[in-house]
A and B are shown apart, each in its own frame.
Chain A
Amino acid sequence: MYTVPLPRIGTDVAWRDAAKRLIGAGVSPEDILWDFDNEMGELFATATALPPVTRRIKAPQSFVQMADWVVWHKDPQRFARLYALLWRLRHQPGLMQDRADPELAKLRHMEKGVHRCKHKMKAFVRFRDLRQGGDRRSFAAWFEPTHHTVEPTAPFFARRFADMDWMIATPDVTAQFVDGNLSFHPGQPKPDLPEDAAEALWGTYFCNIFNPARLKVSAMTSEMPKKYWKNLPEAQHIQGLIAGAEAKVQQMRDNAPTLPPERAAKIKRQLRDE
């Protein structure tokens, strides 16, 4: 029996390395316990040294790519499920093309969940200006991801916001980008971030780009689920916009057509004469 400790930061590399050694040594799935971030506690702390790399087993590229996503899922079974599929792949090389295999379908589903979580993180992180002075501007955000997606998503922010320093704090892992260097730290409670005047302008934009004649609340919540609202400054306006929409449209309908402003006739004349 092998108990494999997997760290919260660097999970992907640790799992891949362990899986390579175990599959190479022919260790079957039932003989492995995957221990993420010491969650099993002392009870199972019988760390057996992993077998050395003796034999390299080839896994399809599509499996490796899928595993790189699935390891970040919050399901405690993710490592065991991945390894079980890897185990089957030894004798079923075409398995990755079978989109209807229940085990693969489950993993693909988990992969999609991580994909979505990553995408939502790229979309919904909201930075606040820390106004610290100095050469580089400095921003920070608090975010609550569904899966362990800070680490795989942080490079996106590094590519995008390379000329400023930033921090994304989460209860899971905190990412920091200072002077062009990205680092990861343990998660933390929500920090006190300074107020940012830009949030009021952003709220103004949010309220005015909304078209009250096209109210479709479910279309909004399916893409921007309520669980994200508490960390989105614009979300505080949603209830009011929904409540006032009907009246606003009715007012547009009730208003009698007005006479054109005086300048209209003049401008029209000029246009015609050109």
Chain B
Amino acid sequence: MAKLDLSQKLAILSDAARYDASCASSGTTRRDSRDGKGLGSTEGSGICHAYAPDGRCISLLKILMTNFCIYDCAYCINRVSSNVQRARFSVDEVVQLTIEFYRRNYIEGLFLSSGIIQSPDKTMEDMLRIAKRLREVENFRGYIHLKSIPDAAPELIEQAGLYADRLSINVELPTDNSVKAYAPEKNPVTIRKAMGDVKSRKDVAGERSYTGKRGKRFVPAGQSTQMIVGADGSTDATILGQSTRLYGDYKLKRVYYSAFSPIPDATAKLPLIKPPLVREHRLYQADWLMRFYGFGVEEITASRTDGNLDLDIDPKLAWALQNRAQFPVDVNKAGKEMLLRIPGFGTRTVRRILSTRRHRRLRYDDLLRMGASLKKAQAFITAADWSPGGLTDSANLRARFAPPPEQLSLF
């Protein structure tokens, strides 16, 4: 095989990394390099430096260290049984790419993942060498996201957490049985144990010792995971139930949902489908409702009997249509919890309503100026000069929001 040049390796190893949805660079400690001795800064909110035509943000240099892999996960482009072209970066190449891209303001930092080579420990050690070089030799103060390798020794993960802003490990599929079926070498129990270890290590780092000192910062931007949607038969209720456990038990910062998407050289075991992008979008909306709007998973998935979300309308609207007895809500009187449940009201609109309400009664136009989407909200609220009348209970309310049924054509 001819030796690959840097550009060819970059093509292969970014192609292999694009199925990881996360590209976040937010929520870590504030750092800068004003002292002139290093490079980089992180200031709370992340920055998306570019967008690809798939609409996804490009914030980090997201690459694999190598796409050689000894595992055989059916959904994965890098599985051992695939004939995709293989490549491997040297430590130096990854470090140089990261630094040179960063200096030109292309990226916020590095998201490094890898196929499993030789053994999980060996792979994790190689990834650590890259992170260590960046932090200790290059004095790089930008963002680093490392993918932990399942089954790697806890002390390696612990070291990784000192260099990285974020660690992630993918649960891959919503149920243990699916993992067994499609990722036979991966063990859901070890994956959860690795997440548990990171959580407890992070908890300890956050506590003060008897001297009042805090321990060394450990993954300040927390951990995240990813679930593939649409490869197995799991319902949305199963997926969201799994997310609820993950957020609760391991204090994850984010669960990413990744619509199963065609890969080159697919296996016969998992036929390629059109990626279920609308479903993925509805799952993110539901995820948001659980984390920021006080909804429980049962409430969100109760609107249909098959355990899946309504694809035609968003989950908050679906819930409101099912629970019309609780509407209309008076925006001048209702509490925060109920305001958050009104379709078309976001957290920011609710905050603005609560602050303005102290001074005067709100009218329909006021809500418009506050950024509420009244097309959705008007059926569910009353304001000083607005009452929805019979609209709230009208039989065709759902039809006002759902896309029109597709016209049948003669064939």
Contacts and interface: CB of A to CB of B under 8 A. Distances in A.
B360 A98 contact: yes
Interface string B94-105: 000100110111
B104 A202 contact: yes
A158 interface: yes
Contacts of B358: 94, 97
B262 A249 contact: yes
Contact of A97 (B7, B61, B185, B355): B355
Interface in B364-411: 365-367, 369-370
B34 A158 contact: yes
| A contact patch SS | helix
Kindly name the residue among B39, B50, B83, B362 whose own CB sees the greatest number of chain A CB atoms within 10 A. B50
Interface of B: 6-7, 10-12, 14-15, 17-19, 32-41, 43, 47-58, 61-63, 70, 72, 80-83, 97, 100-101, 103-106, 185, 259, 261-268, 272, 274-275, 277, 352-353, 355-356, 358-360, 362-363, 365-367, 369-370
B11 A208 contact: yes
Contact of A205 (B10, B35, B366): B10
Contacts of B35: 162
A50 B51 CA distance: 48
Contacts of B33: 159-163
A224 interface: yes
A14 interface: no
Contact of A198 (B14, B39, B100, B268): B100
Contacts of B277: 214, 216
B53 A260 contact: no
A49 interface: no
Contacts of B48: 123, 223
Contacts of B262: 213, 249, 252-253
Interface of A: 94, 97-100, 102, 105, 119, 122-129, 137, 139, 141, 156-164, 180, 196, 198-202, 204-220, 223-224, 232, 234, 238, 241-242, 245, 249, 252-253, 255, 257-258, 260-261, 263-264, 267-268, 270-271
Contacts of B56: 211, 214, 219
B104 A238 contact: no
B28 to A, nearest CB: 14
Contacts of B362: 100
A198 to B, nearest CB: 5
20 contacts: A100-B352, A100-B362, A126-B104, A126-B106, A139-B103, A156-B41, A159-B34, A163-B33, A204-B14, A206-B52, A209-B58, A209-B62, A216-B277, A224-B50, A238-B53, A252-B262, A253-B262, A257-B266, A260-B82, A270-B70
Contacts of A162: 32-36, 38-39
Contact of B41 (A160, A164, A208, A260): A160
Given A100-B362, A160-B40, A252 B58 contact: no
Contacts of A126: 104-106
